[in-house]
Amino acid sequence: MPLFGKKETVTINYISHAGVKKPIAVTVGNSVMEGAIRNGIDEIVAECGGAAQCGTCHVYVEEQWLPKLPPMQDDENAMLDTTLCPRRPNSRLSCQIPVTKELDGLTVHTPEAQV
């Protein structure tokens, strides 16, 4: 049980294009995008604020985590075809990944650029 008033967090690892890894404690219930923008991961831009409308929160998810993620919805799928850096099989929009306890240790790579 989380302590009263204290929110549970898990660690999400953000690895920049240059290879710098930043482990961040992200509140359960926040999205992987929110975990980034609130903690100085400026490689995530998130112009639309999480509405799956802008494609500027693109990440490459480390393969072993893919099966643990919620399935992709149509809007995310469509948006991923418009990202600045090329879409790969492990591409996701970080705003569409809510952080759960099961995702403790999730590792995502940010692309070279978002805009």
Partner 1 sequence: MSVVIVGAGQGGFQAAWSLRMEGYDGSITLIGDEPYLPYQRPPLSKGFLLGKQELESVTLRPEKFYSDQRIELRMGECVASIDRAARKVVLASGSSVPYDSLILATGARVRRLADREALYLRGRDDAAQLKDRLDRAESVAVIGGGFIGLEVAAAARMLGKEAAVVEIQPRLMQRVVAPVVSDFFRELHETHGVRLMLGSGDVPRADLTVAGVGVIPNVELALEAGLTADNGIVVDEHLRTADQNIFAIGDCSKHAQRGRLESVQNAVDQAKCAAANIAGKTQVYAAVPWFWTDQFDAKLQMAGLSGGADRVVLRGSPPKFSVFYFRGGKLIAIDSISRPADHMMARKLLAAGVEVSAEQAADENFALASLVNR
Positions in the binding site for partner 1 (CB under 8 A): 30, 34, 37-40, 42, 47-53, 74-75, 77-79, 81-82, 115
Nearer to partner 1, 64 or 82 (CB): 82
In angstroms and rounded to an integer, the radius of gyration of the C-alpha atoms of the chain is: 13
- Decide: is 54 part of the binding site for ligand FES (CB under 6 A): yes
Query: Between 49 and 105, whose beta carbon lies closer to partner 1?
Result: 49
* Contact predicate 45/69, CB 8 Å: no
* Chain centre to alpha carbon of residue 89: 15
Q: What are the residue ranges of helices labelled H in the chain?
A: 32-37, 74-79
Other CB atoms within 10 A of residue 24 CB: 17
CA 23 to CA 34: how far, in whole Å? Answer: 14
The binder of ligand FES chosen from 30, 56, 83, 114 (CB under 6 A) = 56
Nearest approach, Cβ of residue 16 and ligand FES (Å):
18
Of the candidates 59, 95, 99, 108, which one interacts with ligand FES according to CB under 6 A?
Answer: 95
Nearer to ligand FES among residue 19 and residue 75 (C-beta):
75
